[in-house]
Amino acid sequence: MSGRTGRATWTRTGGALAVWAATRALLLLWVLRVIVPPGLDVTYDVSGLYQKWATVLSGGVFPEHDVTWQYPPGAALAVLAPKLLPFLPYATAFFVLALVCDALVTALLLYAAARPGRRFAGVWVWVVGVALLGPVVFARYDVMVTALSVAALLVGTRRARAFGALAALGAVVKVWPVLLLVGTPRGEGTRRSWTSAAVTGLVLLAGFGLLMPGSLSFLTAQRDRGTEVESLGALVFHFARHFGWDGRVAFHYGSMEFLGTGVPLVSALAQVLSVLALCWLVLWRVRARVWSEATFADAAFTALLLFTTTSRVISPQYMVWLLGLGAVCLLYRGGRMTLPVVLTVIASFVTWLEFPVYFGDVVGSTPFGIGLLVVRNGLLVAATVLACRALWRETVRAVPRGVSAESERMPGWATTDA
């Protein structure tokens, strides 16, 4: 690295760290209620639900009779983690740990961005995107799962078994990191990473099952969920309320959902869309012929967009996942996800507006609340379509820059492992 390049790198790093420190101090003051942000208090999940679950989990059992517990068994680790800081109140300890995980993601991205051939844009996606999403980032355990997933993707380009183990750990904590596996290039790397993920996941699930009863109770709670008011399908009922639809909004299975005529049908259609998304991913994987280093992250980001957009629930914290994977995508010069990631960052800001700032308008289906959802969900749909199109062109129809047409293996997977 030349002196000029080194100085430029330090300047960019210093600027990113300064923005990170300023914005995270503000977010921490918000969740600690030193500064009261506009809209709803987003910290209830921590001070109410998480703390209650931690009490139950400390007794060696899962809260299986609580329908709001809808998480795989590894979530217990995140919920119990604040007990590592017994000198702090539970909620404060949780916020501090969330800040630490945010800092870890930032450090991982900074380290990766400093490598030859990488871009700094990924760092800014995370630093700015989290700030725009607001205090909900520190008030949910999703930032912890995102830290695991970012680490997995960055390790995965060279260490297949370590990648598989981290992806499995993330999946046992919150399911969606299993999607990281979709982008592994066919061959020895896939066999190693998928085998490692399967073994790690089975060992963890068996361990929880033996040590703590009720570890799989979350499956029933997830099955019975309906259409949450922020989801894409919910727009049907937001508009229908202005034309005499007699349904209502109620707190149901841990979120604000629509209840009434037609809701089961729309929920079923959302599940059908998710199945179709899975079919597209399988088709893509069968047809894909070339992989670059960027494809690994691009495929994971695209898969996550597909399942987020088609979900019956699009909670604000889901955006944290997309920001983390989007940030990794923009580290690579050969990647094609710039526009979908930018749309995701913009959608994060609109998400902050619809929750918590104007959530009353969303629940009340006011024209303004509906407008916010149309914009946010429209941005996610556009990002999903563009990401699918870019991934297909990158791996099926065209040869990515710097990759030969015969290449079916990402550099490093065949020769290096953990």
φ and ψ of 415, to 5 deg: -115, -15
Q: What is the pLDDT of residue 222?
A: 60
In tens, the pLDDT along 190-208 reads: 899 999 999 999 999 999 9
In tens, the pLDDT along 316-370 reads: 999 999 999 999 999 998 789 999 999 999 999 999 999 999 999 999 999 999 9
Q: What is the pLDDT of residue 203?
A: 96
Task: List % helix, strand, coil for the chain (3-state, nearest 5).
Answer: 65, 5, 30
**At residue 63, what is the residue type?**
P
**Residues facing 252 on adjacent strands:** 255
DSSP letter for each residue of 323-357: HHHHHHHTTBTT---HHHHHHHHHHHHHHHIIIII
Q: Which residue has the higher pLDDT, 338 or 397?
A: 338
